[in-house]
Amino acid sequence: MNFDTFEPVYEAILDDFGFGRAADERVRDVAADLATPFPLDRLGDWEGKTVAVAGAAPRLADDAALARDADVVVAASTAADVLADRGVAVDCMVTDLDKNPETAAELTREGTPVAAHAHGDNLPAVREWLPRFADEWTLATTQAAPVGPVRNTGGFTDGDRAAFLADHVGAGELVFPGWEFDDPAVDPMKARKLDWAAHLLRWLERRRGERFAVLDGRREAADAALRETLGDDLGGERGPRKRSNGG
């Protein structure tokens, strides 16, 4: 996913939430000053592999086996802690630093990559935590246009950003332990973000020519929302990626 392709969806998200693009860009620029370049091959070989994109919903405790059986595990936010408690190591963590930045910092010091996200309302966390991360294992990301070492591979919430990152580096199959779009415990803002996560995963699903079980029952609504943004061209279908023999 490149930014030119992602930008119409990004603009729709800004409009829906009333977020300011300038705020995203300001924090992105701070992250760019603090971060160093992160070649994506430093993530390891995800090409053709089954990648578990672990969400942080309560059901993750019951879904841990799905992550354990995958070739690669990418954890969104606190999913990294839940999986660690169940003996499942993560290969990458994706976070906007709002819940467990100390876990992210520790992972980088242990040599596990962390995609640390800079957005309009987390400037204090970016300034506090990025300097504590091991530079070699920190991928700085943005939802605005990429600048310097700060990348944008697509996505909005920690979970769907993790899925877009996996796609960007060639994942063969995506599975989704610990996802729950209809969590009654979340506040209205979080619920809207989860709706967008579903829309974005549907867009990714169509682009990949894949079927994500986590989207069963949600595709029609997601397609309608995407058409409002992208028209009838929802990104096309690339066709499914092939698993490697080692996957």
Report pLDDT digits (tens) over 186-197: 899 999 999 999
pLDDT at residue 82 is higher than 50:
yes
Average pLDDT of the residues in 224-231: 92
Report if pTM > 0.75: yes
Domain ranges across the chain: 3-230
pLDDT at residue 76 is higher than 80:
yes
Report pLDDT digits (tens) over 97-142: 999 999 999 999 999 999 999 999 999 999 999 999 999 999 999 9
Average pLDDT of the residues in 79-89: 98
What confidence score (pLDDT) does residue 245 get? 35
Answer yes or no: are the C-beta atoms of 193 and 181 closer than 8 Å.
no
The residue among 183 and 15 whose pLDDT is bigger is 15
What confidence score (pLDDT) does residue 240 get? 43
Report pLDDT digits (tens) over 19-74: 999 999 999 999 999 999 999 999 999 999 999 999 999 999 999 999 999 999 99
Q: Which two tokens stand for residue 68?
A: 């354990």
Range scoring the smallest mean pLDDT among 1-10, 23-32, 224-233: 224-233
- Pairing state between β 72-76 and 114-118: unpaired
Cα dihedral sign, 228-206-117-97:
positive
What confidence score (pLDDT) does residue 85 get? 97
User: Residue 117: CA atoms inside 13 Å, Cβ hemisphere, count?
Assistant: 28
Listing DSSP states for the chain in one string gives: --HHHHHHHHHHHHHHHT--HHHHHHHHHHHHHH-----GGGG---BT-EEEEE--STTHHHHHHHHHTSSEEEEETTHHHHHHHTT---SEEEE-SSS-HHHHHHHHHTT--EEEEE-TT-HHHHHHHGGGS-GGGEEEEESS--BTTBB--S-SSHHHHHHHHHHHTTBSEEE-TT--TT-TTS-HHHHHHHHHHHHHHHHHHHHHT---GGGTTTHHHHHHHHHHHHTT-------PPPPPTT-
- For residues 12 and 211, what is the distance between their CA atoms, to the nearest angstrom? 24
Query: pLDDT band for position 232 (50/70/90)?
Result: confident
